[in-house]
Structure 1
Amino acid sequence: MDIFLFITQLLVVLGCIVMGTRSSGVGLGLWGGAGVAILVFVFGISPGSPPVDALLIVLSVVLASSMMQAAGGIDWMVSIAAKLIARSPKQITIIAPLVSFLFAAGAGTSNILYPLLPVIQDLSYRNGVRPSRPLSLSVVATGVALACSPVSAAMAAMVTLTDTAPWDFELIDILKVTIPAAIVGIILSGIVVNRLGKDIADDPEIQARIAEGKIAAPSANAAEVRAEVTVTAAGRNAGIVFLLGVAAIVVFGLFKGIRPLDAAGDPVAMTPIIEIVMFVVGTLIMLISRPKVAEIPTMSVFKAGMVSAIALFGLAWLTDTFLGEHTKLIAEGVGGLVTAAPWIFALGIFLVCVLTTSQSTATRTIVPIGLAAGIPLGLLSGMWAGAFAGIYLLPTNGSQIAAANFDHSGSTKLGTKLVDHSFFLPTLILAVTTIAAGALFGALWGG
């Protein structure tokens, strides 16, 4: 009977996740809440704990990020990224994903990629590099970047799960595994992806477009490409303040001794530290750059952040309710499988990312299972980061659609059969290389 109830309730959880995925956006959160209602009122399960700490981190980060965007800080970051990419146009399949990764990790959002897409497309095409190569890998790289960002919603979820007894695995412990794993994964993937698809000179579709006059032939001497953004002093100052805030969070994570003490005389945990720093950052941006505060709710970062918070609220509450009821069974059953074959944990994160396109949801859903199974936290963190590439396995994300639309050569495709798009192989390649590197670094110096 226990197994029957477990399977039935698991089907409810999975069904709500699938329905939420179909609804997308805030629908994910609504279906999560509906699932909690079914588990509580139909099956008599005690409701789990809503992810309050993670939500508060998300809200504070989204507020600071939106202030930065309103002040022009993201435009300033994009201008810097464009210059970095333009320095090595022939190596753009490696350089562009690395720059995209670094800026997404620093800003805590993959949305920073959008204005970079036309820059990547133009530079690659003008230098004879098939645009689908750097475009596809740059998009996927921003997925794993959120496992390397002190201010992403996914990291907020991870920190609140691991930065407590008995694990006490803090932000810096996670970053020292995920950052090198992601960088190695991107470089290795760039080498492989640079061989995907036909070269421009050998691609009949691109050559036909050139012959018909729809697009110009590549011209390497036109290497100066500027992002179509307006950079202001206010934007520069806002971007610098935000990045200094990110750096401060990393420093507080590195050195416990500089944190204030709580009532018990212990260093304050990183969860409130992140929230405090982000509020200070937002306030400084407001005072220094003077963005129009009334416009903050209209910012794309604010809207996307609020949607993520609602999705995290509903789905994380649903999974916590289910896992709380079946912790022992999962630890002994599923946990045994994960312990015997840790890659199953990575596969679980990857698949939930595919289904929900949300790294924070995947974190709240699968990481507790890995913790219950006793996976070493260094190994867990490394595999967790690589599996984040899964959100791009299907061509359903805005950045994938934008990349295809910006690629005037037509080399970046969304496909028609779910697996024939330009992002499918880069997603699998980056996931495998980063998971492998993460497992190695996690074993070397993880907890």
Structure 2
Amino acid sequence: MIWLEFAILLAAILVGARMKGIGLGVMGMVALAVYIFLFRMRPADPPIDVMLIILAVVTTAATLQAAGGMDYLVRLAEKILRSKPSLIVLMGPLVTYFFTLFAGTAHITYSLLPIIAEVSTKKRIRPERSLSISVISAHLAITASPISAATAALLTILSGKMELLDIMKVCIPATIIGTLAGVAVCWKKGKDLDKDPVFLEQMKDPAFAASINADVEESREPLKPGAKTSVIIFALAVLLIVLVGAFPNMLPSFGEGAGNLSVDAKGHVKMAAVIELVMLASAAVMMLITRTSAAQVAKASLFNSGAQAVVSIFGVVWMSATFMQTNAAVIEATLGDMVRAAPWTFAIALFILSILLFSQAATTKALMPLGMSLGIAPAHLIAMFPAVNGDFFLPGYPTLLAAINFDRTGSTHIGKFLVNHSFMIPGLVSVAVSVAAGFFLAGILV
């Protein structure tokens, strides 16, 4: 029976992934309905905590965008990238990494990728090198950001055993090391543009050559008056979350009793609730000080992206959690001894599921509880956290497609066999090195 149930789960994920957008969520609900009404499976708890965190963080990021803060950050990034064009293969991924780490979402890279592509092309550095690892580094940063939904999901699962600071002090250096490993393999990837026959053939077209060689001077609108102020408010909110994570005694304690979504059984306010509270409060402060209307926030592209993410995670995680809960005994009996003997093998399962779910948060919420039930040490689960970044494996993730489209030279590409694309090698190397570095750092720091 478990194989039939698994086949239904896999079919829902595959069909939902092809539908894109909210497809994973609605197809997850279809499979869940089959589980409940046909197989009489007891439904697990829906992922309310992760959904609320995504809503809070995305609403705040959308407020930052509506207030002009995102434009200010992009222009700051552009100055950094253009200052050292010969080092674009290094600077590109570092900028996307730290901007994603700060914002908690990789959506900010859509504005950075065309700049990285242009700087690379002007310097005649193969854009594939900088674009491929820049996309991967942004994904890795999600599993190091203190305000990302994936980090919050892991923190909720490890509640009482690990703190936010434990995740950050392992995952930030581990993913930076992984990013640098990806930079190393991309440094001389492919032919330089001045030796690439495809690019040289394209340059024979006068119109194409003129567009490549032209100096780009965009006539931009001036920044909104509250742009810099909104960035400062957002930064202070992130800092406050990190401080509370590092010093949980800053929060009031309400005595032992029945826990809920906000307070645990010991009476401590949960970190997920802190993130939701601080993020939405900072959004309110931004709106008031910068005079940004609620309508402007609702129209921001990040708000729309976040709404889609909430629906997707709602359906697919609820479906996956129900499957895991029903078959926990069988799964533990099958995998328990192997995983306890070699904990790193669980990272492979995280990676494979993330390929199918296209979401770090959904993968974390769906599979990390199984790791806990299998007896894997919390420190090892933190070390394996970067393994949920398998969403590059199949080239359908929006950031990958955006990078391909922004590369006018065509060097960033999807191969004939689908999986032999520009992001495969830097992605595999970066994730593998991040996990290895995570195990090393977890043994020292946690």
Matches within 5 A, 1:115-264: 115-164=111-160, 168-213=161-206, 214-215=208-209, 230-264=222-256
How far is 1:217 from its partner? 9.9
- Write the deviation string for residues 403-423 of structure 1: whole angstroms up to 9, x where unpaired: 122212221113342123211
CA contact (8 A) 1:79 1:231 kept: no
CA contact (8 A) 1:150 1:171 kept: yes
Match of 1:53 among 19, 26, 49: 49
Partners of 1:227 and 1:204 in 2: how far apart? 34
CA contact (8 A) 2:163 2:246 kept: no
Residue 82 of structure 2 corresponds to which residue in structure 1? 86
CA contact (8 A) 1:17 1:355 kept: yes
Q: How many residues align?
A: 436
Partners of 1:105 and 1:86 in 2: how far apart? 21
Partners of 1:340 and 1:418 in 2: how far apart? 35
Q: What amino acid is aligned across from residue 197 of structure 2 in structure 1?
A: P
How far is 1:209 from its partner? 1.9
| Identical columns (%) | 35
Matches within 5 A, 1:6-405: 6-164=2-160, 168-213=161-206, 214-215=208-209, 230-264=222-256, 266-385=267-386, 387-405=387-405
Partners of 2:302 and 2:326 in 1: how far apart? 36
How far is 1:15 from its partner? 2.2
Q: What amino acid is aligned across from residue 209 of structure 2 in structure 1?
A: I
Q: What amino acid is aligned across from residue 246 of structure 1 in structure 2?
A: V
How far is 1:239 from its partner? 1.6
Residue 419 of structure 2 corresponds to which residue in structure 1? 419
Q: What amino acid is aligned across from residue 398 of structure 2 in structure 1?
A: G
CA contact (8 A) 1:319 1:364 kept: no
Alignment of 1:408 with 2:408, yes or no, is yes
How far is 1:337 from its partner? 2.5
TM-score relative to the length of structure 2: 0.92
User: Greater shift after overlay, 332-341 or 396-405?
Assistant: 332-341
SS in structure 2 of the partner of residue 273 of structure 1: helix
Q: What amino acid is aligned across from residue 172 of structure 2 in structure 1?
A: I
Gaps of 5+ in 1: none
How far is 1:336 from its partner? 2.4
CA RMSD of aligned residues (A): 2.2
* Residues 226, 146 of structure 1: alpha-carbon distance in 2 compared, 3 angstrom cutoff: farther
Partners of 1:381 and 1:216 in 2: how far apart? 50
- Write the deviation string for residues 158-184 of structure 1: whole angstroms up to 9, x where unpaired: 1221114xxx21222111111100101
Partners of 2:31 and 2:302 in 1: how far apart? 28
How far is 1:227 from its partner? 10
How far is 1:138 from its partner? 0.6
TM-score relative to the length of structure 1: 0.92
- Write the deviation string for residues 315-353 of structure 1: whole angstroms up to 9, x where unpaired: 111122122222233223223222233333212221222
Q: What amino acid is aligned across from residue 329 of structure 1 in structure 2?
A: V
Q: What amino acid is aligned across from residue 49 of structure 2 in structure 1?
A: D
Q: What amino acid is aligned across from residue 401 of structure 2 in structure 1?
A: I
Q: What amino acid is aligned across from residue 400 of structure 1 in structure 2?
A: L
How far is 1:186 from its partner? 0.7
Residue 443 of structure 1 corresponds to which residue in structure 2? 443
Partners of 1:229 and 1:59 in 2: how far apart? 29
How far is 1:379 from its partner? 2.2
How far is 1:263 from its partner? 4.0
How far is 1:94 from its partner? 1.5
User: Greater shift after overlay, 398-407 or 257-266?
Assistant: 257-266
CA contact (8 A) 2:85 2:120 kept: yes
Partners of 1:217 and 1:295 in 2: how far apart? 35
SS in structure 1 of the partner of residue 209 of structure 2: coil
* Residues 225, 194 of structure 1: alpha-carbon distance in 2 compared, 3 angstrom cutoff: farther
Gaps of 5+ in 2: 257-265
CA contact (8 A) 1:75 1:229 kept: no
SS in structure 2 of the partner of residue 232 of structure 1: coil
Q: What amino acid is aligned across from residue 108 of structure 2 in structure 1?
A: I
